[in-house]
Structure 1
């Protein structure tokens, strides 16, 4: 071998070792140590070297995960050790019975119970039951030589080319000491995020989306074209072994931990429980965090830890006596779609709702399910009378995930959107989507149908009032949904402003309103007459404007009048306000009906927190920035700066410039673009109008700059967790935000401090793990006082 070939062979070996290590850290340990770009550079270098030296390519190279040419079909694989299924437990009694049978089967081996009659306890290895496809991976001398499906337990299909594309399956075992022959068994699955992304790609390409992650994983792994498998976000988790020629530990847990040292991924939730009570507690813990797990599970698997005891217990029929799967209540069930009705929401959206033949799903009786919108109805191909699959996950609203076409009755009826609002009879129209880019707008049909009745529609009025009085909005205690519906139905409230005109005589005697509750409600309404500007903006229910955006608007523009009149381009100078949201805000305040409602509210409310423009926004703009926001074709930020400098930071001078002035400043294409853009009178007027408003608000580059008073916690991220006893979480959040801090809902390495009250759980644990600063409530109060803030 020449010197060049020797060097190439060594570099290829080094790259493979390095990339294998990065794959282990990224896909198995979830602890990447290099950026994706650096990984890609190393990978491309390996690809180039192998292309130049094809004789040095080996099957365990990271480059061989991309898949090969399609095959005609799968060959059969006979399992030397059968891949048996597990028995199932569906209730606590089933688990108690399983443990009793295990202890009876091991009566001669178990130590005696205690003096108080307690029986001897068995150690069980516990782990979540992944909802995927069982596979077998055969390693010979540490090399992956074959992958197979479980099949019927005795015979499966050879899917070697496909399992090689699964990123966290080691093509070569790490370390040393592995048996000469080692069969690893586990589950190939698809994480929830990967499944959602895959379905989005399916929809964008016009392909049919998958019904659930398990179907997606199974379908991906059984592709004859392994390149398709390689493109799917699959992962593997080991749960045991099959055929072995060599030495391994004598416990289930010991084997799994040893496999992990060789690079085989195992469950991060693996747990050793002593006795059935500990098993039941683990089942409850995993059930509680089921929705937070990044993958789907359908139960918990329990296995006797001692391998000698496993052998002694043996098997019955086609399942081991030493293991069981305690299943969670079913999350999917079949039922019949009886009808589709339409509900009207706060913004007038007319939403289809499935009325179902009642069926129990995940332990809850379900009679209704969301259909989202008519595009979803079309995607499902749904007809009234169909048999459908209903899915319910945790507290998520049940949804229809699939139609069973072979059960469709002959009299099935199409689902049609009503022409008139089912509540008020107003016209129902389909919304339009507006896409804005480089100063241009394009329109397409939206997925939402909307009633045009606004507050004349009782459904919209009720939802608008419910939002208006909610705790995070105007915070009017005593006005629940039923009370709001009653007031609207009786005609006592036809606008949010009518709440402030309610009298005692109108309330007392209504359902739920005695003398005390009537007085309490009137007092709560009266106490809300002086809302902070941010609360008022949020209470208006502007589309896409949540609490945080409302706070940004109030803190930045500091005036309802400025917010009402702000042009979209001006709003985009504010943090976290994009062009689409800016247009939503501008269109809301431009609407005559909304103007009337706000005017009425202005007569009964005294809005607080208004004053001068936020100091950081005084003189915050430049002419170059304004030109950039106009999205003039072919004019980038650098060209905009050149123009602004050339014309003395004066927009009028720029507008008066002739072709020669422009051509001396810019190259031909952007100069032509600027000239053509401003030759349109409407666009000239828009630019001047934006500049005039920037000047009026004090944001213009010629406006007076103001000193920004530094907030002591500016730039810091805090997290609140647990129960605070001296103040509410909302109160604590408001104090922190007033000091300049951002209050986040999750803990990360960027978190500055965590305030932990009694009952703090995973967030406190993560903060401790990351070594973050943690304060109890007393320490938090001391911190506030030290910063001059009254708790």
Structure 2
């Protein structure tokens, strides 16, 4: 077989594969490979066609754009073709583009200087949005048609759908626009909008989207415009097509600024620069700020700014010679799943981790990726040996996004959870979810598998100790992961309490320790013996109890003794503590081993002395009402309204119990309907339920939360009820210190921004949180403003 025949076969294979990918990407909105893989195939085809020009055909993907229009939509013929852009992947590609531009404009540009420096070309710069290219036709200022790019010559008529995109003007503003104006741009979805859409889809049991681009494309190409209208789509203009009955400015930037004046949205990052050096600086700047932008981008677009220069340079078969897309390193790549291993965490959770054939993603070699849990493995349909798409964005742990099912090998193996712990050999059991509602319990399988070995399992013991000594917990400086591993492996530490009986002789023998480092570690352990109640609760590692919940428990109940004895029903009176978390807290303190460790920590030998213990917080005094109490019993058929009527008629718990046992009186009561009356009677016919209700009431009374308890006057805190968010770098103090000071003024400091956020404090390097705050219209304060606020309330940095 000749080289020409081999090239022809490979070209045919590449064309077929690219056509299939184009169809999935542009028509089905279900791409099966990442952009980087598509680009590699395209470049290979283009190189082969350049070597064998006699094999080039008009049907080749290199000669056209995208895919055919979907039959479900009407066709739109683009009078001015909607071409795609050439790509620059390396800096040299950009330099070559600039060189070709200057060579093509040699007769138009002024001569270079005596030292050989050529004249610079002015470029327009803007981020390359990752969405769906569309055309908007305005006739006499009114939007008359919307179309997709399709194959560049023919697109789909999506007029009804584009009219639902809220920032697309249905009528141009101002004056001076041409009688016929075709605006071209990108319909996309912001990161916040994408997250919100997927959350709604999950709640309703609908299909979730892999990324904002797929979500935008799938939303815009709905046959029902009402669905499109419900999606958080946005539009950004980047160019023009057909123009009649008027003229546009003579530069790319000038045209886009005119669009803005006429009410058409353009990129806020639009910038005019001189020469390729200006392009390089812009690319670097946007690259650094990429994660802080409110939307996904995959590169930067550079265009020769002067329109007459654009006309002079002209077009190739599928792309203009006057524009290029300088791509960022790929964040998605294809690789092979070599195996799935299972790691054991501090709570015993056995978690699958993907072991991958090493691959470069966004400049980093990736060989492992998170799989979250077995439900995620099932959702992906993952098998060992599969080709998978992995994604890495910013500092986020690489994640398996999708299986390329058509590449599955014949010997692919299913992923199975080990029956025994890979660390200690104990049984691995699937967690059960217990849902309590209307006086009944239902049990279902959870997504988590756990090793039952508890602290017998070295992995759980090590992770528990690492969490216990961490900075936000007991804050024992110098006890890093490797030192904890040595202490556990040598049998010196078998529970957190053992840390406080370590001797000089034991520590100095550890690898890496000498006299000074040993004394420093023992000193740090001694200094940690006076933690706040909140830190201590967090350090215990109660499942589902993070730092904020630990602070709430400490502030609300005031003492370890109350927290230890609190019934789950009583805990649900605290804000943001649901039934499942309440039972986790209660079960933790009911466990005999946990009680023993806590007793050891607090005895004279180990010497932990809790700080900031006190009385029940004032706002929780007499916080329970009889109606709330009845509703929380979850009696079938008795919700808030029925509970309120029952409380008014019966007066107290004993009156309710008596009423439930007096059928004659109950039957004529107007507080409840017949079904609810029977439910009340059945509920309190069980002596155990009566006893439980009385125990809950007794504890509410003991804690001072009972409806008959004495109310207290809560001292007003200036930021009470406000939610603040910290982002970026603070220079005068750490973010942890700033958080503590804001909380001392009554604020809740959250980790994410929402419409309910009162204020965001943004330091240098602030990223997506700042972008989301600006998008939602949340107040933003810099560090200088924070310092002034703290000083006004008597707090220094």
User: Taking structure 1 as the reference length, what is the TM-score of the superposition?
Assistant: 0.82
Q: 1:730 aligns with which of 726, 731, 736?
A: 736
Matched, 1:593 2:593: yes
Aligned residues: 720
Distance 1:758 1:197, change over 3 A: closer
Partner of 2:616: 613
User: 1:535-584 deviations in whole A, cap 9, x for unaligned?
Assistant: 01111122221111111110111111100111122112222222232222
Moved more, 325-334 or 431-440: 431-440
Q: 1:305 to 1:470 in 2, by over 3 A?
A: same
Contact 2:291 2:767 in 1 (8 A): no
The match for 2:707 among 697, 701, 706 is 701
Q: In the alignment, what sits opposite 1:14?
A: none
- Is 1:640 the counterpart of 2:646? The answer is no
Match of 2:696 in 1: 690
TM-superposed CA distance for 1:327, in Å, is 0.3
2:658 corresponds to which residue?
656
- 1:340 paired residue number: 340
Shift of 1:79: 2.4
Between 387-396 and 286-295, report the one with greater CA deviation.
286-295
Deviation of 1:395 after TM superposition, in Å, equals 1.4
Q: 1:739: Cα distance to partner? A: 3.0
Question: What whole-Å deviation, never above 9, does each CA across 1:268-295 have from its counterpart, x for those lacking one?
Answer: 3333334434433332332233234343
Give the match for residue 628 of structure 2. Answer: 625
**Deviation of 1:432 (Å):** 1.6
Structure 1: 5+ residue stretches without partners: 1-69
- Structure-2 change in CA distance of 1:544 and 1:206 (3 Å): closer
Q: Deviations over 1:575-627 (max 9, x none)?
A: 22222322221122222332232222223211111122222222332222211
Query: Which residue of the partner structure matches residue 21 of structure 2?
Result: none
**Higher deviation after alignment, 344-353 or 294-303:** 294-303
Partner of 1:330: 330
Aligned partner of 2:49 in structure 1 is none
SS of 1:616 mapped into structure 2:
helix
Query: Is 1:90 paired with 2:93?
Result: no
Matches within 5 A, 1:371-390: 371-390=371-390
CA distance, structure 2, for counterparts of residue 711 and residue 199 of structure 1: 37
Deviation at 1:323, TM superposition (A): 1.3
TM-aligned CA deviation for residue 641 of structure 1: 3.4
Residue 266 (structure 1) aligns with: 266
What does the per-residue CA deviation read over 1:72-117, in whole Å, with 9 as the maximum and x for residues that have no partner? 5455543222222212122333333333443454455556779999
Instruction: Pick closer, same or farther for the CA change 1:410–1:655 going to 2, 3 Å.
Output: same
Match of 2:513, SS state, is coil
Within 5 Å, which residues of 2 pair with 1:775-790? Answer: 787=793
Alpha-carbon spacing, 1:121–1:71, altered in 2? closer, same or farther (3 Å):
closer
Distance 1:336 1:323 in 2: 36
Q: 1:330 Cα shift?
A: 0.9
Tell me the SS of whatever aligns to 2:669. Answer: helix
Is the aligned partner of 1:668 residue 2:673? yes
More moved, 444-453 vs 631-640: 631-640
2:57 paired residue number: none
- Equivalent residue number for residue 567 of structure 1: 567
Partner residue of 2:31?
none
Partner of 1:391: 391
Q: Distance between the aligned counterparts of 2:375 and 2:363, measured in 1?
A: 30
Whole-angstrom distance in 1 between the partners of 2:211 and 2:758: 38
Write out aligned runs for 1:159-170 (5 A): 159-170=158-169
Contact map agreement 1:71 1:224 (CA 8 A) in 2: no
Indicate the residue corresponding to 1:438 in structure 2: 438
The residue that corresponds to 2:26 in the other structure is none
Structure 2 CA distance for partners of 1:71 and 1:660, relative to 1, 3 Å:
farther
How big is the shift at 1:471?
0.7
Task: Indicate the residue corresponding to 1:539 in structure 2.
Answer: 539
Deviation at 1:325, TM superposition (A): 0.8
Change (3 A) 1:282 1:436: farther
Could you say if the C-alpha distance between residues 225 and 94 of structure 1 is closer, same or farther in structure 2, counting changes exceeding 3 Å? same
CA distance in 1, matches of 2:123, 2:310: 11
Rounded to whole Å, the distance in 1 between the matches of 2:770 and 2:568 is 41
- 1:249-280 per-position Cα deviation (integer Å, ceiling 9, x unaligned): 22212222322344433223333334434433
**Aligned CA distance change for structure 1 residues 628 and 236 (closer, same or farther; 3 Å):** same
Q: Distance in 2 between matches of 1:721 and 1:189?
A: 26
After superposition, the Cα gap between the structure-2 partners of 1:175 and 1:774, relative to the gap in structure 1 and judged at 3 Å, is closer
* Stretch of structure 1 that moved more, 460-469 or 584-593: 584-593
Alignment of 1:80-229 (within 5 A): 80-107=79-106, 109-110=108-109, 121-196=120-195, 209-222=208-221
The answer for the alignment partner of 2:486 in structure 1 is 486
CA distance in 2, matches of 1:630, 1:368: 47
Judged with a 3 Å threshold, the aligned counterparts in structure 2 of structure 1 residues 703 and 228 are, in CA distance, closer, same or farther, namely closer
How far, CA to CA, are the matches of 2:143 and 2:493 in structure 1?
A: 72
What is the CA–CA distance in structure 1 between the aligned matches of 2:383 and 2:723, rounded to whole Å? 49
**Structure 1 stretch displaced more, 378-387 or 323-332:** 378-387
After superposition, the Cα gap between the structure-2 partners of 1:281 and 1:660, relative to the gap in structure 1 and judged at 3 Å, is: farther
Q: CA deviation at 1:421?
A: 0.7
For 1:468-512, what per-residue CA distance to the aligned partner results, in whole angstroms no more than 9, with x for missing partners?
Answer: 111111111111222222222222222111111211211224222
Report the more deviating stretch, 175-184 or 331-340. 175-184
Check conservation: 2:294, 2:768, Cα contact below 8 A. Answer: no
CA apart distance, 1:741: 3.1
- For residue 391 of structure 1, report the CA deviation from its aligned partner: 1.6
State the distance in 2 between where 1:248 and 1:647 align.
79
Where do 5+ consecutive residues of structure 2 fail to align? 1-68
- 8 A contact 2:292–2:768 mirrored in 1: no
Query: In 2, are the aligned partners of 1:620 and 1:701 still within 8 Å (CA)?
Result: yes
CA distance in 2, matches of 1:616, 1:193: 34
CA contact (8 A) 1:71 1:225 kept: no
Give the superposed CA RMSD.
Answer: 3.5
Larger mean CA deviation between 319-328 and 234-243 belongs to 234-243
* Cα distance, 1:294–1:554 mapped onto 2, change above 3 Å: same
In 1, are the aligned partners of 2:183 and 2:237 still within 8 Å (CA)? yes
- Contact preservation (8 Å) 1:149, 1:157: yes
Change in CA separation of 1:785 and 1:263 when aligned onto 2, cut-off 3 Å:
closer
Q: State the TM-score, normalized to the length of structure 2.
A: 0.82
Distance 1:264 1:121 in 2: 30
How far, CA to CA, are the matches of 1:251 and 1:187 in structure 2? 20
Q: 1:113 to 1:515 in 2, by over 3 A?
A: farther
Distance in 2, Cα, partners of 1:533 & 1:622: 28
- Relative to structure 1, the CA distance from residue 331 to residue 786 in structure 2 (aligned partners, 3 Å threshold; closer, same or farther) is closer
Report the alpha carbon displacement of residue 178 of structure 1 after superposing the two structures with TM.
2.9
Once the two structures are TM-superposed, the CA of residue 788 in structure 1 deviates from its matched residue by 5.2
Q: Does the CA contact (< 8 Å) of 2:646 and 2:672 recur in 1?
A: no
Contact 2:303 2:323 in 1 (8 A): yes
The CA deviation at 1:393 is: 1.5
Equivalence map 1:313-324=2 (5 Å):
313-324=313-324
SS at match of 1:315: coil
Check 1:139–1:783 CA distance in 2 against 1; reply closer, same or farther (3 A cut): closer
| Distance verdict in 2 for CA 1:638–1:343, change over 3 Å | same
In structure 2, distance between residues paired with 1:339 and 1:275: 49
Contact 2:299 2:325 in 1 (8 A): yes
Between 176-185 and 225-234, the greater mean CA deviation after superposition: 225-234
CA distance in 1, matches of 2:759, 2:235: 36
SS of corresponding position for 1:585: helix
Post-superposition CA distance 1:327-379 (Å, at most 9, x none): 01011211111111111112111111111111111111111111111122122
Q: 1:97 to 1:416 in 2, by over 3 A?
A: same
1:257 is aligned to 2:263: no
1:336 is paired with a residue of what secondary structure?
A: strand
Give, in angstroms, the shift of residue 442 of structure 1.
Answer: 2.2
Does the alignment pair 1:477 with 2:477?
yes
